[in-house]
Amino acid sequence: MSSEDLGRPRLPSQRIAGYLRSAIRDGEFRPGDRLPSERELAQAHGAARNTAREAIRILAEEGLVDRRHGSGVFVRERRRAFRFGAERYSRRLREETGLSPYRAELAEQGLTPRVDCVSIERRAAPPEVAERLGLPTDEPNVVRRENRYYASDGTTEHPVQVGITFIPWTIAEGTPLATSSVLGKGSLYARFEERGHRITRSREEVSARMPTPEEAQVLQLPSGVPILEVLHTGIDQDGRAFEVTRFVMRADLGALDYDLRVED
């Protein structure tokens, strides 16, 4: 319920923010458009410039606008790199494209992907990973691979997500999964299939939260933008979990699109 519904007047900065918010929602200001200056907003609404500045701060905290030093305030672009559900892990897509799920998804959307593998190490599984893989937590029994994912529309490249994959050592030992940032044709899931683990089902636990300072820095998050956290578990033809990946995604650039079959 809004403050107006409760019969309480809003602060002048909130009224200006409300006007701009509605104008953005209704398309009066479109993504990429420059908003009126603080001086123009103050004059139009009979307020002080500090009040207009506070209204802009409110919208920035909500993730609706970007401040660009020396240029003004602009409506934030909303193009998203969608993460598809069942199709992203399909053997057909892997064999047709020879690409990883992320690269194939972005190519289909006309975006250019880039993936950096920043670390590969053997360590003990974190408790939530050990639980899903059926492993103990007191020994170095998984390979942890951390990737950072980027997307470009041809003019600007943005970091989109961070993915940390945990692979049982019994699967990764002696393979590129344990040592190499280059996994070859079909990437990660082709290598799993060579080890006898063909992905046939995926469990994905999705939540939203505000980023940690480190996540905000790595993902270059504007103020007010939350993250989506996806805990993905790959399950093979025998019903066994064989990998867990924690994805941390920018909510303004990433999205989820699942087409799920409803059970009887």
State the CATH number of the domain containing residue 55.
1.10.10.10
Quick one: 134 and 211 in the same domain? yes
Quick one: 59 and 86 in the same domain? no
Mean pLDDT of 236-262: 89
Task: Read off the pLDDT of residues 89-112 as tens digits, 9 standing for 90 and up.
Answer: 777 777 777 878 888 888 888 889
For residue 124, what is the domain's CATH number?
A: 3.40.1410.10
Task: Please count the structural domains in the chain.
Answer: 2
Quick one: 57 and 166 in the same domain? no
Q: Last residue of some domain: 25, 43, 75?
A: 75
Q: How many Cα atoms are found within 13 Å in the side-chain-facing hemisphere of 32?
A: 1
Task: Read off the pLDDT of residues 16-58 as tens digits, 9 standing for 90 and up.
Answer: 999 999 999 888 999 889 999 999 999 999 999 999 999 998 8
| pLDDT for the residue numbered 78 | 67
Residue of higher predicted confidence among 188 and 106: 188
> DSSP letter string over 148-197?
EEEEE-SS-EEEEEEEEEEEEHHHHTTSGGGT-S---TTHHHHHHHHTT-
| pLDDT for the residue numbered 187 | 87
Quick one: 168 and 112 in the same domain? yes
Residue 3 lies in a domain: no
Q: Last residue of some domain: 58, 75, 92?
A: 75
| pLDDT for the residue numbered 222 | 80
Residue range(s) defining the domain that contains residue 121? 81-257
Residue 33 lies in a domain: yes
Quick one: 68 and 106 in the same domain? no
Spatial separation of the C-alpha atoms in residues 220 and 238, rounded to whole Å:
40
**54 — phi, psi (to 5°)?**
-65, -35
Residue 124 lies in a domain: yes
Residue 126 lies in a domain: yes
Quick one: 232 and 108 in the same domain? yes
Q: H or E stretch including 58?
A: helix 49-61
Task: Read off the pLDDT of residues 168-182 as tens digits, 9 standing for 90 and up.
Answer: 999 999 999 999 999
